[in-house]
Every structure is written in C-alpha cells, then in structure tokens.
Amino acid sequence: MELFRQSREASLRREAPLAARMRPETLDEVVGQAHLLGPGRLLRQAIEQDALTSVILYGPPGTGKTSIAHVIAQATRAHFETINAVTAGVADLRRTIEQARDRRTLSGTRTILFIDEIHRFNKAQQDALLPFVEDGTVTLIGATTENPFFEVTSTLVSRSRIFVLEPLTAEDLLKILSRAVSDPRGLGPTGVELSEDAGRYVAGVANGDARAALNVLEAAALAAPPAPDGVRRISLAVAEEAGQRRALLYGRDGDAHYDMISAFIKSIRGSDPDAAVYWLARMLAAGEDPRYIARRVVVHAAEDVGLADPQALVVAVAAAHAVEFVGLPEARIPMTEAVIYLATAPKSNATVTAISRAWHDVEREETRPVPRHLRDASYPGAARLGHGRGYEYPHDYPGGFVAQQYMPDNVKDRTYFEPTTSGYEAELRRRLRTWWGGVKRYAFEGRS
C-alpha cells in the first residue's frame, strides 16, 4: 500500500501544472524578494534557523507567497499543515487545531499552519484562530493578496509580522522561465527551446506574476509544433498566441483599485497629462467602472483646479455626462479630453480651504442669528419685526457693490476664501482687494 501511495503521489506531481512542479524546494531556488530573503534578512534567518514566529505574507498573485511557505515546509522540523481559506470552514480549522494541540502535548512537536488566502476567512473564523496563535499551539503563516490591515482582524495582525512581497521584475521572470525550460521537474525532458524575444514577451505579459508566466510558457510549449529533431521551439508568434491578453492586476475593492485612482489623481494634480492618461488607460483596461473614474474627475476639478480655471468643472461634468450618454469604448475620448484639460489647467485648492475654514467655524463658534438687515422681508409683517431694515441694495451703487456686513458679529472678520495668483483666481484676488480692501483685513493683503 505504501509503494502504491508513493507511486500515485509521483504520478500526481508529474501531471501537476508547470507552475506547481516548478515550486522552489530551497531558499536559493526562490527568485526575487531579495529584500526579504537576501543574506542576513530577518525572514531568511528565521527560516534557516527554524525559528519562525507567526507571519503574514502580503503581495500580488504569483510573487512567491506559497513558494516561501513550501520552502518552510521543506526546511522546518515542525509539523506543517496547509489550509485554503476558500474551501475550509470553522470545522476544518478546529480539527487542525485539535491535532496540533495533541501533537504538542504527546510529542512536543510544533505545528506550522499555512492558511492560503487568509483574507477569505470571515471575522468569526479569524477570531476562532486567534487564541491558538496567542498560546503557541500553532505558528501561523497567512498568505494574502489583499491588504491585511483591512482584510485581516487587527488582533491577528498585531500578533503577526507582516512581510510585503513585490511584483517580480522581467529579469526575475526570465530566470524562472529559463529554469522551467531546462529543469527535469519542468519541460526539460520534453525538449523545449524558448527564443529570447518569446521569453521577453512572456515575461512582459505576465506583469510580475510567476504563475502567469509559467502558465503561458506551458501553453506555448503545447502549441509549438515539434521540429524534425523533436524539439519544440517557442517563437514569438507562438508565445503571443499563448499569451493572448496581458494579465492586469486589479480588483474594484482591493489595493490596486485605491492605489491606481490615487496615482491618477496625483498625476492630474501634479500637471502630468501623460501619467494621468496612462493611469486612466490602466484602470479602463482592467475593467474599472468608468462612472467611478468620472466622479473622481469631477471632484478633482473643483478640489485641485477650482476657480483657477472655472471651466475645469464644466469640462469634467460634460465628460461624466458623456460616460452616461455614450458609454464605452467611445467615452474614453471625452474622458481623456477632460483628464488632459485638468492636468494642464492652473491649480488652486482655495475653494477647499474656504469651505474647511467656514465648516470649522460653524462647528466650533456660537451660531448667532442672521443679522436683522439680512433677514427675509418678503412676507407681510416682516417689516414690523425689523427684517431687512438697513439693508443696502448693491445694484443701487456704482459697480453693483457696497460694503456692508454679511455675517454675524462673532465671525464678521473671518477670511475663508484666499484666492491664489494662479489663473483666473488672480482676477478674483484683484476684485476682492478693490471691493473689500478698506473694510476686511485679508490674510493675503500685501502678498503678490
């Protein structure tokens, strides 16, 4: 029976996908993540000394989280258990914990519990794990593509060390592809050659994901026709057919979503139209809701361009309307027009400052009644209450302006709006100085 089991396991390994067969067995086989696994690094030392404490490995798909766990399983003297949070439930977790407790009591053997996609466990499942991480019944290795500070309970995060994995570089992926072509565990026995341009294409289309690169390589190896000498030569054309579409890391509720919209807005704010259009294209190509992007563009027009160019908000709203009216793919064009307009417009956040200052006073200062001369005097009896008495109608004066008090006494000297010298706000600055310079003490008085 033991021989049959070993034979069956060997057969399953041979039949496994290329990415699974090429999983590293030792630390030296792990490609990339030198900031974590380089000589003298904390994680490498902990693995080599078999002194690992609970950790969470956080990074994009295909960057080595499961591979590092596999290496730990090979290197440790502890018992190693694996659970996938997609398929496991509380019952599976409790059974694993019970076995770990018995193992510890009977033989003193530690248990390392690897939970893949730990963010898929709900709060109750994560809470069920917490006491056994705290008392050392299990040493946790959690792997997640989602930000653990949002998707893993704070108590579990506080008891684990977070290690962040970065996307693999093209050179990293080329090393992995080269090894897969020659290694006996990979395509070595089948006689496959990968051309340099095909290799670079696969490394590029994988976007830092080793699993995606190996999947494309495996598909290309199957698609490449054998030559008379029996070698399957993967050309660029074959690689492109196998690669199809570039793998885009994106999730509408994940880090990529928030990071890209952040880069997009910061590029517009930084007046770089090329970067702004690039991030727009990245988000649209990955399937982001164009209405979400359009809403952010409208907010940015008011927040960061403001009255330095009043047309910015008009253009942004028009683009948002075009998204609803036209839809993709054509709506990409008016969206791009709006993005370029905003990126190249003069910038000012004076309107944000104005409402923030006013909001602060509304929340902190005494809310006194509306001054009597500003109250509604349109209804019968209002005059008998003194409403509107003393109000000066601006259109009765030259230029349509007359200086009078428009705010309650306790905030009448406040300055909320301070126009910059950028774009149209320079003209607003001039007007306010002309109208109110002798009445209000502006914070920007005397500044050019």
H-assigned helices in 191-310: 196-205, 210-223, 236-243, 255-269, 273-285, 290-300
State residue 438's pLDDT score.
66
Q: How far apart are CA 288 and CA 281, in angstroms?
A: 10
- All CATH 1.20.272.10 domain ranges of the chain, comma separated, are 255-344
Which CATH number is associated with domain 33-164?
3.40.50.300
- 124 and 97 Cβ atoms separated by less than 8 Å: no
Which residue has better confidence, 339 or 442? 339
- All CATH 3.40.50.300 domain ranges of the chain, comma separated, are 33-164
Burial class (CB in 10 A: 0-12, 13-18, 19+), 18: buried
Mean pLDDT of 217-241: 87
State residue 8's pLDDT score.
54
User: What digits encode the pLDDT tens for the residues 117-131?
Assistant: 998 888 888 888 888
Mean pLDDT of 406-417: 84
Q: How confident is the model at residue 348 (pLDDT cuts 50, 70, 90)?
A: very high
Lowest mean pLDDT among 309-313, 349-353, 435-439: 435-439
Q: How confident is the model at residue 319 (pLDDT cuts 50, 70, 90)?
A: very high
The strand pairing partners of 80, in sequence order, are 112
- 300 and 320 Cβ atoms separated by less than 8 Å: no
Q: How far apart are CA 186 and CA 203, in angstroms?
A: 17
State residue 56's pLDDT score.
94
User: What digits encode the pLDDT tens for the residues 13-35?
Assistant: 567 889 889 999 899 899 999 99
State residue 249's pLDDT score.
53
Is pTM beyond 0.75 here? no
Is the pLDDT at 223 greater than 90, yes or no?
no
Is the pLDDT at 370 greater than 90, yes or no?
no
- Is domain 255-344 classified as CATH 1.20.272.10? yes
Q: What is the mean pLDDT of the chain?
A: 86
The residues near 136 (Cβ < 8 Å, ≥ 6 apart) are 110
Is the pLDDT at 337 greater than 90, yes or no?
yes
What does the block give as tokens for 264? 């997009």
State residue 229's pLDDT score.
82
Is the pLDDT at 363 greater than 60, yes or no?
yes
The owner of tokens 């509604």 is 376
User: What digits encode the pLDDT tens for the residues 188-208?
Assistant: 888 899 999 999 989 888 888
Q: How confident is the model at residue 440 (pLDDT cuts 50, 70, 90)?
A: low
- For the CA atoms of 220, 180, 10, 49, the dihedral, rounded to the nearest 10 degrees, stands at -150
- All CATH 1.10.8.60 domain ranges of the chain, comma separated, are 170-243
State residue 5's pLDDT score.
52
Q: How many CB atoms lie within 10 A of CB 56?
A: 24
Domain 170-243 fold is Helicase, Ruva Protein; domain 3 (1.10.8)
Is the pLDDT at 394 greater than 90, yes or no?
no
